């Protein structure tokens, strides 16, 4: 393949990627006729400076490529960060620091974004759009990144108290209270029954003589 042919192919590829990115941007601006997954946004609190890894899972579909976006709250805009396809070929958005933002494929069904040397300016919601070969697109809810912010302390877990077994400690005055009377009544019934039986046997014995 000649140098001119390679240049032409590269130009066609870049043009195709540019069209795809424009379509994704239009999809974001006009509202999706595609699929928006109703996932809850997760929150991460990375330390400054550190490296944070965000994952985009393809789920049950066969991913052809993944587009990464960041919403910047204080500027009220969505920034296109980059695109990564199955061949680990990467295209960056305008003004994105290629030394700090790394895109690559992980395994057979997920893509990752690594942010190196995280700072406060990286605060925002990072989302991905998964594109299938059939051009079906899935928008993932994303992750809220709060660098340098102390995570909230979860409330302490309250352990349930173990059940208390009832203990009967009855005095003479409380025999008939709190169910303690039955503990004394039944032995008395047994004793009286035994005495009655002994009396009947004695009377029967003397009646024979």
Residue 204 clears pLDDT 80, i.e. is over it? no
Domain ranges of the chain: 33-145
Rounded CA-CA distance 169/148 in Å is: 60
User: For the residues 160-188, what does the mean pLDDT come to?
Assistant: 61
Q: What number is the average pLDDT over the span 5-22?
A: 44
Q: The pTM is what?
A: 0.60
Containing 26, the helix (H) or strand (E) segment is helix 3-30
Average pLDDT over residues 71-75: 76
Hey, is 179 helix, strand or coil?
coil
The third-level CATH classification (topology) of the domain covering 33-145 is Immunoglobulin-like (2.60.40)
For residue 181, pLDDT beyond 60: no
pLDDT tens digit string along 20-38?
444 444 444 334 445 555 5
35 bridge partner residues: 138
For residue 49, say if its preceding peptide bond is cis, omega within 30 degrees of 0: yes
pLDDT digits (tens, 9 = 90+) for 96-148: 999 999 999 998 889 999 999 999 999 999 999 998 888 888 888 889 999 99
Q: Within a 10 A sphere around the Cβ of 89, how many other Cβ atoms?
A: 13
């Amino acid at each position: 393949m000649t140098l001119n042919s390679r240049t032409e192919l590269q130009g066609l590829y870049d043009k195709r990627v540019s069209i795809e990115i424009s379509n994704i941007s239009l999809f974001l601006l006009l509202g999706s006729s595609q699929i928006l997954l109703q996932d809850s946004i997760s929150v991460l609190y990375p330390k400054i400076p550190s490296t944070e890894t965000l994952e985009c899972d393809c789920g049950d579909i066969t991913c052809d490529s993944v587009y990464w976006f960041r919403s910047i709250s204080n500027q009220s805009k969505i920034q296109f960060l980059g695109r990564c396809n199955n061949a680990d070929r990467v295209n960056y958005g305008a003004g994105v620091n290629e030394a700090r933002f790394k895109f690559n494929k992980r395994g057979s069904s997920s893509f990752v974004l690594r942010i190196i040397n995280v700072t406060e300016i990286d605060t925002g919601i990072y989302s991905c759009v998964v594109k299938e070969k059939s051009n079906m697109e899935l928008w993932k809810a994303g992750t809220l990144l709060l660098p340098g912010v102390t995570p909230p302390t979860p409330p302490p877990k309250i352990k349930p108290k173990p059940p208390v077994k009832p203990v009967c400690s009855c005095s003479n005055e409380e025999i008939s209270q709190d169910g303690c009377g039955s503990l004394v009544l039944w032995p008395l019934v047994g004793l009286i029954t035994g005495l009655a039986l002994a009396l009947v046997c004695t009377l029967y014995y003397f009646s024979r003589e």
